[in-house]
Amino acid sequence: MTALEHAGRALAAESARYTEMGWMRGTSGNLSVVLGRDPLRLAVTVSGLDKGELTEHDVVVVDEHGLAVADQPHPEKRPSAEAGLHGRIAAVSGAGAVVHVHVLAPVVAAEQWPGGVPLRDLEMLKGFGRAAHDDEVTIPVIPNGQDMRVLGDAFEAGFRADTPALIVARHGVYVWGADLRQARHRLECLEWLLRFTVATKLEPAGRGML
């Protein structure tokens, strides 16, 4: 099995998992893993397919701009239009995998906190890579758009190395990690944190605790 097929198999398995969770409805969402860094190359799930039915062949190799590189094993397949943002996130953060899903809680949270979603003093923050107490965490929110360069610039402007997530308003969430497993664990914990925050509708008390 080639490195690309191995990456494709892992991406297909993760996509099926998220589909079962209801986080990749229809053909929405996209995942990527870094194949190499000099130059940057990513394997990205293809566009337009049910993410619960992908195979190891349903990936496209893209460059740092999200453009398909030459000599694809399946040149007829197209990368997601959002692959450019995957490339920017991987380049800036150093992540080995980027996950983008359309789970509801982050989108609702961004409606309530469009300047960034504040989280504090919740045990699940440890699973997101932050301290459970006395750690100010703000999940950045950027406006939606179709130009991945614009979204990439907005992401980079607010990037913090200790906050591996980005909410795109009225769209979805991006979470990244060293690999697909770490990205998944972070996403699962973040979804819980945001669902709790939205459900309880707690606001910082005098810039204090949630």
State residue 74's pLDDT score: 83
Closest CA to 162 of 210, 196, 119: 119
Distance, CA of 120 to CA of 131 (rounded, Å): 9
Tell me if 148 sits within 8 A of 176, measured CB to CB.
no
CATH number at residue 91: 3.40.225.10
Distance, CA of 150 to CA of 154 (rounded, Å): 6
Print pLDDT tens along the chain (210 aa): 789 999 999 999 999 999 999 999 999 999 999 999 999 999 999 999 999 999 999 999 999 999 999 888 888 889 988 999 999 999 999 999 999 999 999 999 999 999 999 999 999 999 999 999 999 999 999 999 999 999 999 999 999 999 999 999 999 999 999 999 999 999 999 999 999 999 997 554 444 444
Q: Is residue 206 part of a domain?
A: no
Q: Is residue 210 part of a domain?
A: no
Distance, CA of 64 to CA of 42 (rounded, Å): 8
Q: Is residue 59 part of a domain?
A: yes
Collapsed DSSP state (helix, strand, coil) of residue 199: helix
Structural domains in the chain (count): 1
Q: Is residue 209 part of a domain?
A: no
Q: Is residue 205 part of a domain?
A: no
Q: Is residue 126 part of a domain?
A: yes
**Full residue range of the structural domain in which residue 30 is found:** 3-200
